[in-house]
Amino acid sequence: MWQERKYIEKLKSFEINKVNYLKNSSINSLLIYPNSYYSGMSYLGFLQLYKFLNEEGITNCDRFFFEDWKDPITFDNYRYVSDFEVLLFSIPFEGDFENVIKILRDNNIEPNKNKRKRKPLIIGGGPSLWINPYPLKNVFDIFVLGEGEEKLRFVFNHFRKIINGDNNVPKMKGVLFELPMERKAILNEITFEKSCTHIPYTKIITKNSFFSNMFLLEIARGCINNCKFCTVSRLYHNKCFRDLDSIKKVLDEAKGFAKKVGLISSMVLEHPHIEDILQYCYDKELEVSTSSLSVKGLTNNIVKLLRMTNNKSITIALESLSSKTRKEINKDFTDLFFLEKIKMILENNIKTIKIYLILGLPYEKDDLKSQVSLWKQLLNLNTIFKANIHFSINPLIPQPYTPYYNLPMQSKKTIRSNYKWFKENFKGLKLKFEGINNSLKEYNYAYNTDDILEKM
């Protein structure tokens, strides 16, 4: 344990932690991120819940990350997982489902709820479970679907009744003790807070995260764009642009301890007050970084503001070099329109541009000539502006609840040959391809409803 503790102490020495821990709860709980410290500390959903549970006095909440440790202990108080009355798993990615089982087994906790004795109560939440909670149906005592804060308040308010098996526990939408037989019914259980004055944000920052030392806040929830391959518009059916005054208050708080803020959302540029938000950051001398941006929302003024707030790189979700494919998936704009936006970014002296693409979408190989021509123009701009335009390329993973639900997942061989096709036709800019095994795993857990315990 001493080795682990030493390592944790080192990580903690890099944290700036402004969470107000209210110690008025009798229930000790542990918030678990089923992957590394680095990725957990990059996930706003996890950080928001940790802040909320502790600051509202709902429960004394410790943190746990899944690291390759001989003697795993908790992050804040160096305790064992089995010491806690409640374990809360926050799971954004399906790929981490197996880690949930490993964590429980490593800590001598029976993963099968039907065989488990009373302690601890195990709760699961996070977007991966909204898509498909069924592989973990026999693991979690409670599933929390949708925004977790008020649902967890409800669970802790009724904690004693729940663990005593009292039949009089009232019901709350999105808090499920059993999963419905019909998968479609899950969608109706995913609920969100109505108020858009509620801003999820973090009060811990560290350099050991993807968003190194960045204060993260969510400025909008869900997405209005309805791209055909994407679950976001379908899962977050209660879309919301967070209120400007509330965002400003949170930014005032950020000013106290971070130099840089990360504006998190699937629709950063669609926010009706995005220019005001960026201007406010500039006035407060806060640097800005953002989630990936929509091509259509980029204006010269916004790019200027991004530059003024010291944004050195921009990420764009183009999805396909083919305009025919873009039209099919609901991202309908011409190559010329896209090239003008790239030029505009470069002219504003932002030289690093990351572009997301998906391979395996309909029509993508139909108009190779025009795609090669678009590529050549990008290459040209890259050379003229001495820029760093690079690509992140992922295979299409047909997702539940989307119009592509019934498309078969591409085989390993097809993904490999698509990657090869791309490399052969598009040369001269940096390409990064998503791991094939990870993608297949993600697809499997998004679709397959079999009990994970049967194969682990």
Binding site for ligand SF4 (CB under 6 A): 223, 225-227, 230, 232-233, 266, 294, 317
Kindly state the smallest distance separating residue 269's Cβ from ligand SF4, in Å: 10
Q: Please give the Cα distance from 45 to 192 (Å, whole number).
A: 13
111 CB-contact burial (10 Å; exposed 0-12 / middle 13-18 / buried 19+): buried
What does the block give as tokens for 48?
């928001």
CB-CB contact of 220 with 270 (8 Å): yes
Residue number, 226 or 449, with CB nearest to ligand SF4: 226
Kindly state the smallest distance separating residue 294's Cβ from ligand SF4, in Å: 6
Residue number, 261 or 295, with CB nearest to ligand SF4: 295
Q: At what angle do helices 300-308 and 335-347 cross, to 10 degrees?
A: 30
CB-CB contact of 54 with 111 (8 Å): no
Q: Please give the Cα distance from 134 to 395 (Å, whole number).
A: 24
Residue number, 59 or 399, with CB nearest to ligand SF4: 399
Q: Please give the Cα distance from 143 to 123 (Å, whole number).
A: 6
Residue number, 48 or 294, with CB nearest to ligand SF4: 294
Kindly state the smallest distance separating residue 363's Cβ from ligand SF4, in Å: 17
Contacts of the segment 152-158: beta carbons below 8 A, 24+ positions apart: 152/49, 152/52, 152/53, 152/58, 152/88, 152/123, 153/56, 153/58, 155/123, 156/25, 156/27, 156/58, 156/59, 156/86
Kindly state the smallest distance separating residue 320's Cβ from ligand SF4, in Å: 12
Kindly state the smallest distance separating residue 355's Cβ from ligand SF4, in Å: 13
Kindly state the smallest distance separating residue 271's Cβ from ligand SF4, in Å: 13
Largest CA distance in the chain: 70
Residue whose tokens read 């599933």: 143
Q: What SS3 state is found at 426?
A: coil
CA dihedral (290, 296, 302, 306) in degrees, to 10, reads: 30
* DSSP element (H, E) containing 358: strand 352-359
Kindly state the smallest distance separating residue 45's Cβ from ligand SF4, in Å: 15
Residue number, 260 or 331, with CB nearest to ligand SF4: 331
**Phi and psi torsions of 357, nearest 5°:** -130, 155
Could you tell me the sign of the dihedral formed by the alpha carbons of 173, 174, 180, 186, in that order? positive
Kindly state the smallest distance separating residue 200's Cβ from ligand SF4, in Å: 17
